[in-house]
Structure 1
């Protein structure tokens, strides 16, 4: 008979803080954190990780033998959330996080209602290479700053690939209709041909300017 294996929780090397006053377990990782910081950033964590339950003192979270078990997040995403709400001298540059890392952080920030996260995530996501359709969808899903979508719409406006059903499903009808209108106007203005040579009368630089003007006009409506 094979003996039953026990999974032991391990202390997180960065976020098992000597100044923390609650021990939280996420999967098999232990975090010791200041409860006041969690409460200050998240009304949801204020409810689910309270200092007391119904007026009674809490019975978990005092030590490693009876930690408060936080269900839902994985340790990696939880650590990335802590990078923002509880930075330490050992916190790495947030530029090291990938698009998928930021998506996981945004999901957690929505789940726990952490209002300080979206603006930080927007700053770093905006400088990462993201397909324009994915970027627009992501921005719409998490209600991020639409002003930063200008370059994504310009890229779709000038893209040679035709619009498809898959794009419509990804973008949604309202956004897809907006993109289609941008592209129609762009092709009317940018694809004029020379009567003599049959080539384009519009330079690549002018085409780019036309696309930017069209996107600006429609986004400002």
Structure 2
């Protein structure tokens, strides 16, 4: 990225949507100028933060004559990229696959991690052929665990992978799909299927096979997002008092009738003691 020359500025066109009056940085893409807000680029991208920092004084892209020239991007693609920030109807307007593939490519090239994450989230909601999805995610180093549904489709379809499809995929992926299909056939045969194919394997078993073959350790087995059950601390045991003869209880487990008998005995001893004292006093008189 380099500032544009002042010569020939009059030949440039202003982009109809993204040449903003209150913008504070200008980009030169092909023959068109974009004037947008520097904050988005500086705050979210290490690439642009470094490019802005090393720009010579007076050539920081603050005017048309010092616009930063962007290579490896077309006018249409840069507009798609800016749309994510500037479209007021972003969450209500569905964009096709090609739009998000463009956002994915540029966010990877220019090191916009949050923008890349957004593009992946949107692509996950779209119907993409498994071969294209696998090659795309491999190219941009996206989490392989997100490819589990695509791997399953390749394993469950009746036909094997064609030579053309194999050329699009990396060799480890081709070998992995082949191994998973073979293991799925064996699993179906062990389950009692007489003429098994990989499509006959149980879905959960096929997922376990693919997770093992492609080492998808990040794939949670609980796909509903529920947290694993946590065992609570054991409830302290409380000794329940044993019932006495009359149904009453006490904390020591002895019967209430036994306690009553002991009390009566003590009272009787006190009474006898008092009687003896009174008898001796009467005799002395």
Moved more, 126-135 or 184-193: 184-193
Counterpart for residue 11 of structure 1: 15
The corresponding residue for 1:152 is 150
Distance in 1 separating the partners of 2:129 and 2:189: 24
Distance, in Å, in 1 between the alignment partners of 2:164 and 2:103 is: 26
Question: What residue in structure 2 maps to residue 210 of structure 1?
Answer: 205
Take 1:179 and 1:211, find their aligned partners in 2: how far apart are those partners? 11
Q: Does 2:48 align with 1:45?
A: yes
CA distance in 1, matches of 2:191, 2:50: 65
Larger radius of gyration: 2
What's the secondary structure of 1:25's corresponding residue?
strand
Q: What is the CA distance between 1:67 and its match in structure 2?
A: 3.6
- Measured in 1, the distance between the counterparts of 2:27 and 2:123 equals 29
Residue from 164, 167, 172 that aligns with 2:165:
167
Deviations 1:93-147 (A, max 9, x none): 4863322222222221222122222211111111111111111111111111222
Task: Tell me the CA shift for residue 21 of structure 1.
Answer: 1.1
Query: Does the C-alpha gap of structure 1 residues 26 and 99 become closer, same or farther in structure 2, counting only changes over 3 Å?
Result: same
Asked if 1:189 corresponds to 2:190, the answer is: no
Q: CA offset at residue 167 of structure 1?
A: 2.8
* Residue of structure 1 aligned with 2:29, choices 26, 30, 41: 26
Does structure 2 retain, via aligned residues, the 8 Å contact 1:44–1:112?
A: yes
CA contact (8 A) 1:118 1:144 kept: no
1:106–1:117 contact (8 Å) kept in structure 2: yes
Cα deviation code 1:134-192 (max 9, x no counterpart): 11111111111222111111111111111233233222111111111110011222257
Unaligned runs of 5+ in 1: 1-5
Cα deviation, residue 30, structure 1 = 2.6
What residue number does 1:76 align with?
76
Task: Kindly state the Cα deviation for residue 22 of structure 1 after the two structures are TM-superposed.
Answer: 1.8
Match of 1:78, SS state, is helix
CA-CA distance at 1:199 after TM superposition: 7.1
Aligned residue-pair number? 207
Alpha-carbon contact 1:61-1:68 (below 8 Å) kept = no
Pick 1 or 2: higher relative contact order, CA cutoff 8 A, min separation 6.
Answer: 1
Match of 2:120? 122
Q: Per the alignment, in what secondary structure is the counterpart of residue 58 of structure 1?
A: coil
> 1:3 maps to which residue?
none
- Give, in whole Å, the separation in 1 of the partners of 2:93 and 2:157: 28
Give the TM-score, by structure 2 length.
Answer: 0.61
TM-score of the two chains, using structure 1 as the length reference: 0.77
CA distance in 2, matches of 1:95, 1:138: 23
CA distance in 1 between partners of 2:92 and 2:98 (Å): 13
Q: Residues 173, 203 of structure 1: CA spacing in aligned structure 2 closer, same or farther, 3 A cutoff?
A: closer
CA separation of 1:199 and 1:37: change in aligned 2, threshold 3 A: closer
